[in-house]
Chain A
Amino acid sequence: MSTDFYRYLLRHGDDNLVLSQRLSEYISYAPELEEDLAVANIALDHLGVAMHLLEYAAGVGDNGHSADELAFHRSERDFTNLLLVEQPNADFAHIITRQFFFDAYQVGLWEALIASNDETVAGIAAKASKEAAYHLRHSSSWMIRLGDGTAESHARTQAAIDALWRYVGELFESDTLDEAVSAAGLGVNPASLRAAWEERVDGTLNEATLSRCEDDYQRNGGRRGFHTESLGHLLAEMQWMQRAYPGMQW
């Protein structure tokens, strides 16, 4: 069980770490200074959660890898984040849509994990759920503004939904690891989060005059380390300093 639990913590730690890096890439490019600060804040929230989860994983894993090593010395195939969070910042609509799908997922995830019988996970979830509630409020209000805004903002946001929809199914896929961890009361089975996610997402899309993608083709593989091309580029930038100067501090 402890190997499963370790990998479970890594999965969710990786989700937050990779998304945090993606959002950080956008800093100084947002349409307004205030939005730049908002994106930086959200990136920091995800980084904080990633830090807690990877530090805890480092303890549970007990394989001699510190949280920093987990973040900076693993390669692409060892990362088990969802494909959604590694998708590039193609435009502001992509950034907001990716965030919206993920926030609507994390709100349910943390809510469920508060009931974990592992105290540390429950504690991290309690803290993260407040942040996720704010993130979802931020991204939903942007979805509505962009979708129900100008013809251009509507077209771009619908294009982002259509481009990212194929990564949504993976959020709710469960494998034997998820089943074992949730059976032990430590984690939650992702499949159980889907109905509430759809309700949250449909409500906002409706108000935003946007629609789900009609093509239901789905990709997966992130949880097994099979990623889209984007992750390698992201890691190259995130990891190069620790790879070039192992253990350096500043």
Chain B
Amino acid sequence: MSYEVPHMAGDDEIEFGSLPEGGWPRWEAFVRQRGGLSHVYSESVHAPDAETALLNARDVYLRRVEGVSLWVVPTADVHVWESDSPNNDPLDDTAAGSSLWEIFVRHRRGLAHVHAGSISATCPADAVDRARNVYLTRDEGVSVWAIPASSVIAADPAEAAALFEPFADKDYRYPTFYEIPEEVGYM
């Protein structure tokens, strides 16, 4: 019986492109869990574009929690203010037209940033100021992230079945699925 050797493009046949310095850019991922009221910060992923960022965030952060909604944001679009950091980078205060900003607040050190709500503002500095006035009046936060609403890429609710449901019946994704042999002892 004959068989095929896979065809590989030889080095002489292709023109080499170049990868961006430092690999793919970073994106921040936010998940709303089933029964949850707000989107909560998960962590970041690397991806070449928004579509891949969504798919990567889905694969990395929805394996062990039951999500119902997923947002990703280019890390470069997250404007940060921290209560106990004297060296907060000065935020851009060049006022443009008023636009919508999504505000995330970290209530205590060790907790994740949680979506607090949306406000209108004219620039990153304005957004953080307003967010502190609205959400931190009683010092109930240690860090604020302001993100232009236009930078938030949300998973299409119409695709929820393909994005979120396949994880539901796979209990082998949880560490508790596996029995640890007695000989191993405490891990």
A contacts, CB < 8 Å to B: 32-35, 37-38, 41, 44-45, 48, 87-88, 90-91, 94, 127, 130-131, 133-134, 137-138, 141, 145, 149-153, 155-156, 159, 162-163, 166, 219, 226, 228-230
A34-B17 contact, Cβ under 8 Å, with A137-B55, A155-B9: no
Partner of B60, one of A34, A87, A137, A151: A34
Q: Are B14 and A152 in contact (CB under 8 A)?
A: yes
Partner of B45, one of A34, A45, A91: A34
Q: Are A149 and B17 in contact (CB under 8 A)?
A: yes
Distance between Cα atoms of A133 and B159 in the complex (Å):
9
Interface flag for B48 (CB, 8 Å): yes
A137 partner residues in chain B, CB cutoff 8 A: 55, 159, 162
B23–chain A nearest beta-carbon distance, Å: 7
A219 partner residues in chain B, CB cutoff 8 A: 4
Distance between Cα atoms of A153 and B159 in the complex (Å):
29
Q: Are B23 and A94 in contact (CB under 8 A)?
A: no
Number of A-B residue pairs at CB separation under 8 A:
92
Q: Quick one: which of B56-80 are within 8 Å of A by CB?
A: 56, 58-60, 63
Q: Are B1 and A226 in contact (CB under 8 A)?
A: yes
Q: Are B48 and A155 in contact (CB under 8 A)?
A: no
B58 partner residues in chain A, CB cutoff 8 A: 134
A34-B3 contact, Cβ under 8 Å, with A130-B166, A149-B17: no
Interface flag for B136 (CB, 8 Å): no
Q: Are B6 and A87 in contact (CB under 8 A)?
A: yes
Q: Are B7 and A163 in contact (CB under 8 A)?
A: yes
A38 partner residues in chain B, CB cutoff 8 A: 55-56, 59
A143–chain B nearest beta-carbon distance, Å: 12
A138 partner residues in chain B, CB cutoff 8 A: 55
Partner of A34, one of B47, B162, B166, B170: B47
Distance between Cα atoms of A230 and B16 in the complex (Å):
29
B24 partner residues in chain A, CB cutoff 8 A: 32
A33 partner residues in chain B, CB cutoff 8 A: 46
12 A-B Cβ contacts within 8 A?
A38-B56, A44-B170, A88-B6, A90-B8, A130-B165, A133-B159, A134-B58, A141-B51, A150-B18, A151-B14, A151-B15, A228-B4
Quick one: CB contact mask for B24-58 with A, threshold 8 Å, 1 for yes?
Answer: 10000000000000000000011111011001101
Distance between Cα atoms of A138 and B65 in the complex (Å):
21
User: Which residue on A lies nearest to B23, using beta carbons?
Assistant: A32
Q: Are A159 and B51 in contact (CB under 8 A)?
A: no
B6 partner residues in chain A, CB cutoff 8 A: 87-88, 90, 94, 163
A134-B166 contact, Cβ under 8 Å, with A87-B6, A145-B48, A162-B7: yes
Interface flag for B125 (CB, 8 Å): no
Q: Quick one: which of B157-171 are within 8 Å of A by CB?
A: 159, 161-163, 165-166, 169-170
A155-B162 contact, Cβ under 8 Å, with A34-B45, A138-B55, A141-B52: no
Distance between Cα atoms of A99 and B78 in the complex (Å):
35
User: Which residue on B lies nearest to A163, using beta carbons?
Assistant: B7
Interface flag for B84 (CB, 8 Å): no
User: Which residue on B lies nearest to A40, using beta carbons?
Assistant: B59
Distance between Cα atoms of A91 and B11 in the complex (Å):
13
A141-B46 contact, Cβ under 8 Å, with A159-B9, A228-B4: no
Distance between Cα atoms of A174 and B166 in the complex (Å):
30
Partner of A91, one of B8, B49, B60: B8
B17 partner residues in chain A, CB cutoff 8 A: 149-153
User: Which residue on A lies nearest to B7, using beta carbons?
Assistant: A163
Distance between Cα atoms of A166 and B3 in the complex (Å):
12
Q: Are A41 and B59 in contact (CB under 8 A)?
A: yes
A229-B3 contact, Cβ under 8 Å, with A38-B56, A131-B162: yes
Distance between Cα atoms of A219 and B15 in the complex (Å):
31
Partner of B7, one of A141, A151, A159: A159
A152 partner residues in chain B, CB cutoff 8 A: 14-17
Q: Are B55 and A37 in contact (CB under 8 A)?
A: no
Q: Are B9 and A145 in contact (CB under 8 A)?
A: no
